[in-house]
Amino acid sequence: MVWIHHVPALIPRMFSQFVWNKERSENKIYLTFDDGPVSGVTDYVLDELAKRNMNATFFMVGDNIQKNHRLAQEVLQSGNGIGNHTMHHVNGFKTPYEVYLEEIDNCQLQIQETLSISSRLFRPPYGKITKKQFKSVVADYDVIMWDVLSGDFDATQSAEECLKKSIKYSRNGSIVVFHDQQKTKEMIKRVLPDYLDFLNDSGLETALL
């Protein structure tokens, strides 16, 4: 599996229309959780955030909202932000243009029906989106990437390594990716509490995108 913890500076310069990080001068961290809501994981994340009076932005998969209405509502009611992550977590490189836009529209419909809000945030699953898709999407959404990938999805990585690298690369204005999905359930439980405590100890406040 090829992925990197930290996005090299070159990439945001090449793809400057995407949002890779926020203001570096403020002591704020932008936590994001992708692919939920999933029972047994998302509720765990909500508890850990609430214990520390923190919040995060949840990039939800429409299909999961449909299956977990109440949990999606709890995410919003707990003071967190909501982002669109397509209806079925589709890869932009492998999905025809029209179908890709439909996937985003259908996820937005789920958000509207379940949460009575519209999201202006979109994150392409796998970070993969074509230029043509991007041009349409950016008219309606801020397209949010990241600068710190925890790699919680990589089972070959130890929890210690995941924590260590996530801490190493987190700084003012970082957008940090975790996953509230079945596959990352065990890893997140081993890493998230310590990571959130690190933010507290470092005087980094969480903020919404």
CB of 29 to Zn ion, least distance (A): 20
Compare residues 32 and 166 and give the one whose CB is closer to Zn ion. Answer: 32
Interface with Zn ion, residue 34, by CB under 5 A: yes
Which among 57, 78, 75 is positioned nearest to 114, based on CA atoms? 75
Site for Zn ion in 117-146 (CB under 5 A): 125
Compare residues 34 and 147 and give the one whose CB is closer to Zn ion. Answer: 34
> Residue 56 — left, alpha, or beta (φ > 0 → left; ψ -120 to 50 → alpha)?
beta
Stretch that binds Zn ion, among 32-40, 71-79, 127-135, 138-146 (CB under 5 A): 32-40
CB of 14 to Zn ion, least distance (A): 22
Compare residues 150 and 204 and give the one whose CB is closer to Zn ion. Answer: 150
CB 111 within 8 A of CB 118: yes
Which residues face 175 on adjacent strands?
30
Interface with Zn ion, residue 152, by CB under 5 A: no
CB 203 within 8 A of CB 57: no
Interface with Zn ion, residue 147, by CB under 5 A: no
Which residues face 149 on adjacent strands?
177
